Structure 1
Amino acid sequence: MNSPKKDGDDDVPVKDPVKYGELVILGTGCSFYRVLSEIIFPQACFVQVWFDFASVSLDDHMPCVVDACFTAGLVIFAAVHSRGQHSISFTLSRNQTVVVEYCHDNNTDMFQIGRSTESPIDFVVTDTSGGGKEGEDPSIAPSTISRFACRVVCERNPPYTARIYAAGFDSSKNIFLGEKATKWKNPDGHMDGLTTNGVLVMHPEGFPEDPKQGLWREISVCGDVYALRETRSGPSRGKLAEGESSALRDGSLVDLCGATLLWRTGEGLMRAPTLRHLEALRQELNASRPQCPVGLSTLAFPSLPRSHSLEERQPWVYLACGHVHGRHDWGQRSERVEVPGEGEGSTTRRECPLCRSVGPYVPLWLGCEPAVYVDAGAPTHAFVPCGHVCSESTARYWAETPLPHGTHAFRPVCPFCSSALSTPGWTRLIFQGPID
Structure 2
Amino acid sequence: MSSHCSHTSKSEDTEVPVLIEENSNCAASEKVKYGELVVLGYNGSLPGVPQHRRRRSKYVLYRRDSPNGIKPSGQSAGPSSLSSKATIGTKWFSIACENQASVIEYIPDDTTDMFQVGRSGDSEIDCVVWDVFPGNPSFDCGTSGVSRFACRLIADRTRPQIVRIYAAAFNSAQRIFLGKEAITWQDRNGELDGLTTNGVMIYKPQGNFLGGEVEPGFWWREVSIGGKIFSLRLPRCSQKRGKLIEIENNVLQDGTLIDICGATLLWRSVEGLKKSPTKSDLEESVGELNSGKSVCPVGLNTLVIPRKITPDMNEDIDDKQQPYVYLKCGHVRGSHELGARSSSFHSCPLCGIMGRVVKLCMGMEPAFYVDSGPPTYVFNPCGHMASEKTVKYWVNVPILLGLTGFYNSVCPFCKVLLDGYVRLIY
Question: C-alpha distance in 2, partners of 1:56/1:279?
Answer: 42
**Of 208, 213, 216, which aligns to 2:216?**
213
Q: Which has the larger radius of gyration?
A: 1
Spell out, residue by residue over 1:367-413, the C-alpha distance to the aligned partner (whole angstroms, 9 max, x if none): 00000001111110000000000100000000110100122101000
Paired position in structure 1 for 2:14: none
Question: C-alpha distance in 2, partners of 1:291/1:375?
Answer: 28
Paired position in structure 2 for 1:83: 90
**Of 234, 243, 247, which aligns to 1:243?**
247
**Shift of residue 318, structure 1, vs aligned partner:** 0.6
Question: C-alpha distance in 2, partners of 1:377/1:306?
Answer: 24
Q: Secondary structure at the match of 1:246?
A: coil
Q: 1:46 to 1:228 in 2, by over 3 A?
A: same
Paired position in structure 2 for 1:416: 413
1:59 aligns with 2:73: yes
1:285 aligns with 2:289: yes
Paired position in structure 1 for 2:421: 426
1:47 aligns with 2:44: no
Q: 1:377 to 1:174 in 2, by over 3 A?
A: same
Q: 1:138 to 1:90 in 2, by over 3 A?
A: same
Question: C-alpha distance in 2, partners of 1:370/1:409?
Answer: 28
**Shift of residue 45, structure 1, vs aligned partner:** 1.2
**Of 126, 129, 132, which aligns to 1:125?**
129
Q: Which ranges in structure 2 are unaligned for 5 or more consecutive residues?
A: 1-22, 24-28
Q: For the Cα contact (< 8 Å) 2:153–2:164, is it kept in 1? A: yes
Q: Percent identity?
A: 42
Task: Kindly report which structure 2 residues correspond to 1:273-312, keeping only aligned pairs within 5 A, or say none.
Answer: 273-304=277-308, 306-307=310-311, 311-312=318-319
**Of 303, 312, 323, which aligns to 1:315?**
323
Question: C-alpha distance in 1, partners of 2:52/2:247?
Answer: 37
Question: C-alpha distance in 2, partners of 1:175/1:81?
Answer: 17
- Counterpart code for 2:126: D
**Shift of residue 328, structure 1, vs aligned partner:** 2.1
Question: C-alpha distance in 2, partners of 1:37/1:46?
Answer: 16
Q: 1:353 to 1:190 in 2, by over 3 A?
A: same
Question: C-alpha distance in 2, partners of 1:323/1:262?
Answer: 32
Q: Secondary structure at the match of 1:218?
A: strand
Q: For the Cα contact (< 8 Å) 1:30–1:305, is it kept in 2? A: no
**Shift of residue 106, structure 1, vs aligned partner:** 0.7
Q: Secondary structure at the match of 1:128?
A: coil
- Counterpart code for 2:411: C
Q: For the Cα contact (< 8 Å) 1:111–1:151, is it kept in 2? A: yes
Q: Secondary structure at the match of 1:258?
A: coil
Task: Kindly report which structure 2 residues correspond to 1:6-405, keeping only aligned pairs within 5 A, or say none.
Answer: 16-32=30-46, 40=54, 44-50=59-65, 52-60=66-74, 63-66=75-78, 72-73=79-80, 75-79=82-86, 82-92=89-99, 96-129=100-133, 138-206=139-207, 207-209=209-211, 210-214=213-217, 215-304=219-308, 306-307=310-311, 311-312=318-319, 313-329=321-337, 345-405=341-401
Aligned length: 389
Q: 1:260 to 1:122 in 2, by over 3 A?
A: same
Q: For the Cα contact (< 8 Å) 2:47–2:310, is it kept in 1? A: no
Question: C-alpha distance in 1, partners of 2:59/2:291?
Answer: 36
Question: C-alpha distance in 1, partners of 2:105/2:90?
Answer: 12
**Shift of residue 31, structure 1, vs aligned partner:** 2.0
Q: Which ranges in structure 1 are unaligned for 5 or more consecutive residues?
A: 1-6, 8-14, 67-71, 333-343, 432-436
- Counterpart code for 1:324: V
- Counterpart code for 1:316: Y
Spell out, residue by residue over 1:397-435, the C-alpha distance to the aligned partner (whole angstroms, 9 max, x if none): 00110100122101000000010001xx1100000xxxx
Q: 1:64 to 1:327 in 2, by over 3 A?
A: same
**Shift of residue 83, structure 1, vs aligned partner:** 2.4
Question: C-alpha distance in 1, partners of 2:33/2:172?
Answer: 26
Q: 1:35 to 1:141 in 2, by over 3 A?
A: closer
Greater shift after overlay, 404-413 or 80-89?
Answer: 80-89
Q: Secondary structure at the match of 1:267?
A: helix
Paired position in structure 1 for 2:12: none
**Shift of residue 57, structure 1, vs aligned partner:** 0.2
Q: For the Cα contact (< 8 Å) 1:316–1:363, is it kept in 2? A: yes
- Counterpart code for 2:322: Q
